[in-house]
Structure 1
Amino acid sequence: MKSMHKKMLAVCIGVAIGSGFSVTAMADSAPSLSVINWWTAGSEAKAMHVLVQMMKAKGVNIQNDAIAGGGGAQARTILKTRLMEGQIPGAAQIKGVEIQQWGHTGLLANIDAAAKAGNWDKNVPTVVNDYMKYKGNYVAAPMDLHRLNWLWYNRAILKKSGISAAPQSWPELMADLAKIKKAGYIPMAGGGNGWMIATEFDPIALETGGPTWYKDVFVKLDPKAIDSPTMVKALERLRAIEAYTPKSLAGRTWNFDTALVAHGKAAFQIMGDWANGQFEFLHVTPGGQQVGCVAFPGTAKEFIYNVDSFIFFRQNTPAKRAAEIKLAETMVSPKFQLLFNKYKGSIPDLMNVSLNGYNACQKKSRAQFLVARKENGLVPSFSQNMSTYGPPTGAFIDSLDKFYTSNETPQAAAAAMAKRVEVAKSQD
Structure 2
Amino acid sequence: MPFAQTGIAFFEEFVFNEVLLASGGLPLYQQFIRDHDGAAIDSPEFVAATEAYARLRGYTDPGMPGRNWTDTANLVINGDAGFILNGDWANAAFTSAGLVAGTDYECNIGFASHVMVMGSDALVFPTSGDAELMQAQDLLAATAISLEGQINFNSVKGSVPVRTDVDTSALNSCLAKAVAFVGTEGGATPWPSYYNSPERNLAVRDLITGFWNTPSMTAEQFRAQLKSTNAQYPN
Q: TM-score, normalised by structure 2?
A: 0.89
- Equivalent residue for 2:225? 416
Matched residues in 2 for 1:211 and 1:409: separation? 25
* Structure 1 position 193, deviation (Å): 1.5
Q: Is 1:291 the equivalent of 2:105? A: yes
Contact 1:188 1:267 in 2 (8 A): yes
Structure 1 letter corresponding to 2:198: G
- Equivalent residue for 1:67? none
Matched residue of 1:328: which SS?
A: helix
Structure 2 letter corresponding to 1:294: N
Q: Is 1:332 the equivalent of 2:145? A: yes
Matched residue of 1:197: which SS?
A: helix
Contact 1:227 1:418 in 2 (8 A): no
Q: Is 1:400 the equivalent of 2:208? A: yes
Structure 2 letter corresponding to 1:310: L
Aligned with residue 262 of structure 1, among 57, 68, 77: 77
Contact 2:33 2:195 in 1 (8 A): yes
Contact 2:75 2:81 in 1 (8 A): yes
The verdict on how the C-alpha distance between 1:315 and 1:422 changes in structure 2, with shifts beyond 3 A counting, is farther
Contact 2:41 2:227 in 1 (8 A): yes
Matched residues in 2 for 1:256 and 1:386: separation? 28
CA radius of gyration, larger in: 1
Q: Is 1:224 the equivalent of 2:39? A: yes
Matched residues in 2 for 1:386 and 1:274: separation? 20
CA RMSD of aligned residues (A): 2.1
Contact 1:391 1:425 in 2 (8 A): no
Structure 1 letter corresponding to 2:224: A
Q: Is 1:280 the equivalent of 2:78? A: no
- Equivalent residue for 2:156? 343
Q: Is 1:252 the equivalent of 2:67? A: yes
1:361-386 deviation line (CA, Å, top 9, x unaligned)? 11222123223x3xx2321122xx34
Matched residue of 1:304: which SS?
A: strand
Q: Is 1:315 the equivalent of 2:122? A: no
Matched residues in 2 for 1:263 and 1:245: separation? 16
Contact 2:109 2:177 in 1 (8 A): no
Over the matched positions of the two proteins, sequence identity in percent amounts to 26
- Equivalent residue for 1:116? none
- Equivalent residue for 1:239? 54
Matched residues in 2 for 1:251 and 1:193: separation? 6
- Equivalent residue for 2:189? 379
Structure 1 letter corresponding to 2:200: P
Matched residue of 2:56: which SS?
A: helix
* Structure 1 position 424, deviation (Å): 4.0
Matched residue of 2:156: which SS?
A: helix
1:140-182 deviation line (CA, Å, top 9, x unaligned)? xxxxxxxxxxxxxxxxxxxxxxxxxxxxxxxxxxxxxxxxxxx
Q: Is 1:213 the equivalent of 2:23? A: no
* Structure 1 position 310, deviation (Å): 3.0
The verdict on how the C-alpha distance between 1:315 and 1:392 changes in structure 2, with shifts beyond 3 A counting, is farther
What does residue range 17-416 of structure 1 map to in structure 2 within 5 Å? 186-226=1-41, 228-288=43-103, 290-299=104-113, 301-371=114-184, 373=185, 376-382=186-192, 385-406=193-214, 407-416=216-225
Where does the alignment leave 5 or more consecutive residues of structure 1 unmatched? 1-185
* Structure 1 position 191, deviation (Å): 4.2
Task: Tell me the number of residue pairs that the alignment of Structure 1 and Structure 2 aligns.
Answer: 234
Matched residue of 1:292: which SS?
A: coil
* Structure 1 position 264, deviation (Å): 0.7
* Structure 1 position 224, deviation (Å): 2.6
Where does the alignment leave 5 or more consecutive residues of structure 2 unmatched? none
Contact 2:3 2:83 in 1 (8 A): yes
* Structure 1 position 267, deviation (Å): 0.6
* Structure 1 position 348, deviation (Å): 1.0
Q: TM-score, normalised by structure 1?
A: 0.51
Matched residue of 1:396: which SS?
A: helix
